[in-house]
């Protein structure tokens, strides 16, 4: 016996119980950290944003027996290729600033049941809460993002990155153009996301339609822009997904400043981008590299008449 250890048996037993508590697991601890950071970055006002992390069998094994009060939730559309997979997900309506204080109310663990028609809520979301309303986009993207090269993507992250969303109001909305602008926005960008950012049209959030479009974009790019709303990222880890959005958001902030100062007078050239790609051994998205610089969207008055009418009666 170690005489320096004065703890009683009950103390030790309760310490062991504590270390078994899911709040002490690496995945809940990391989810708390990342959602808190996202809140502090200003990307997740109110209940804005949602995150999902795919858990392995080893992650959930120690807790499976303790989850005996489960509920089933029908998905709006069956999801492909995820039968039996478990995910730690933020709750719908959850404020990221509250996750640290009440993880069990604001986070939850779901398992996709056979045929992908339902999910089982294993833990969390309070008494009668539910996973994020963007679950279709998350689950469809988890499946689709595996198509991209590299380590399996375990994380899908959505937030309302302020400067990137601002840019969606003024830049021409194509993947090539937004990618090219971001690459020129900061030297590290081409190296961090050589596959660029996919862009969607504006769509109603929380639907299977926006979920399908997001998944299609994340099959080719690590990031997808939802204009006038936010961004999705697919990453191997929470750290990587956060880093992708942080990098995009930093470049976006610089671009917003540059545009506010009257636009660039000098920038990173196509040859600079080629040199960067060569040095870091990455293959840049061809359409963004082929484009000569980036373009602002045309002003309403420059648009065809029919489209201009959408911007108000004053425009002829
Ligand atoms: P949830 O609260 O349902 O996750 O929705 C937040 C959001 O950002 C929707 O796009
Ligand atoms: Zn959102």
CA distance 83 to 127: 25
E-state strands within the chain: 50-55, 71-74, 86-90, 107-112, 118-124, 155-159, 197-199, 223-226, 230-235
Number of Cβ within 10 Å of residue 291's Cβ equals 18
How far, in Å, from the CA of 132 to the mean position of ligand 1?
Answer: 6
207 C-beta closer than 6 A to ligand 1: no
Cβ–Cβ < 8 Å for 109, 48: no
In angstroms, the first-to-last Cα distance of the chain is 89
Which tokens is 174 given? 């194509």
User: Whose CA is closest to atom 10 on ligand 1?
Assistant: 205
Q: Which residues are catalytic?
A: 134
- Across the range 176-197, mean pLDDT stands at 98
Q: Which residue from 157, 115, 152 is spatially nearest to 132, judged by alpha carbons?
A: 157
Q: Which ligand is nearest to the CA of 133?
A: 1
Q: What is the location of CATH 3.40.225.10 in the chain?
A: 13-133, 134-297
Q: Which ligand is nearest to the CA of 92?
A: 1
pLDDT tens figures, 228-261: 999 999 999 999 999 999 999 999 999 999 999 9
CATH code for the structural domain at 134-297: 3.40.225.10
User: Under DSSP, is residue 211 helix (H, G, I), strand (E, B) or coil?
Assistant: helix
- Across the range 56-80, mean pLDDT stands at 96
134 C-beta closer than 6 A to ligand 1: yes
Give yes or no for residue 156 having a pLDDT over 60.
yes
52 C-beta closer than 6 A to ligand 1: no
Which tokens is 49 given? 């944003």
pLDDT tens figures, 10-26: 555 555 555 579 999 99
50-55 and 197-199 strand pairing: unpaired
Give yes or no for residue 219 having a pLDDT over 80.
yes
User: What does pLDDT average to over the chain?
Assistant: 93
pLDDT of residue 315: 37
pLDDT of residue 43: 98
- The residue written with tokens 């917003």 in the block is 256
Give yes or no for residue 207 having a pLDDT over 80.
yes
Give me the percent of the chain exceeding a pLDDT of 90: 87
User: Whose CA is closest to atom 6 on ligand 1?
Assistant: 48
pLDDT of residue 18: 53
Probe target for ligand 1 pocket from 47, 51, 90, 200, with the most ligand atoms within 8 Å of CB: 47
pLDDT of residue 301: 76
pLDDT of residue 2: 46
CATH code for the structural domain at 13-133: 3.40.225.10
* Choice between 309 and 139, residue whose per-residue pLDDT is larger: 139
129 C-beta closer than 6 A to ligand 1: no
48 C-beta closer than 6 A to ligand 1: yes
| pTM, rounded to two decimals | 0.92
For the chain, the C-alpha Rg in angstroms (whole number) is 22
CA distance 281 to 261: 34
Give yes or no for residue 73 having a pLDDT over 90.
yes
């Amino acid at each position: 016996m170690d005489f320096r250890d004065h703890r009683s048996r009950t103390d030790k037993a309760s310490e062991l119980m504590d270390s078994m508590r899911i709040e002490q697991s690496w995945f809940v601890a990391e989810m708390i950290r990342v959602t808190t950071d996202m809140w502090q970055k200003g990307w997740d006002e109110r209940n804005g944003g949602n995150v999902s992390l795919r858990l392995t069998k080893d992650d959930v094994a120690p807790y499976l027996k303790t989850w005996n009060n489960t509920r089933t939730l029908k998905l709006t559309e069956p999801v492909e290729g995820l039968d039996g997979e478990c995910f730690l997900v933020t709750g719908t309506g959850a404020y990221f600033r509250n996750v640290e204080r009440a993880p069990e109310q604001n986070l939850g663990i779901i398992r996709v049941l056979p045929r992908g028609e339902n999910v089982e809520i294993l833990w969390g979301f309070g008494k009668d809460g539910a996973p994020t309303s963007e679950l279709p986009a998350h689950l469809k993207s988890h499946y689709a993002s595996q198509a991209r090269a590299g380590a399996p993507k375990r994380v899908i992250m959505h937030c309302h990155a302020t400067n990137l969303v601002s840019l969606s109001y003024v830049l021409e909305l194509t993947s090539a153009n937004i990618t090219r602008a971001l690459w020129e926005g900061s030297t590290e960008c081409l190296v961090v996301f050589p596959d660029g950012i996919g862009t969607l049209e504006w769509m109603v959030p929380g639907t299977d339609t926006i979920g399908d479009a997001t998944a299609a974009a994340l099959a080719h790019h690590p990031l997808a822009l939802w204009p006038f709303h936010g961004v999705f990222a697919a990453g191997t880890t929470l750290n990587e997904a956060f880093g992708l959005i942080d990098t995009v958001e930093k470049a976006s902030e610089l671009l917003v400043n540059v545009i506010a100062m009257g636009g660039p007078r000098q920038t990173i050239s196509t040859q600079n981008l080629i040199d960067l790609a060569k040095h870091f051994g990455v293959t840049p998205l061809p359409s963004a590299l082929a484009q000569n610089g980036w373009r602002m969207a045309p002003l309403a008055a420059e648009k065809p008449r029919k489209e201009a009418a959408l911007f108000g009666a004053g425009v002829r």
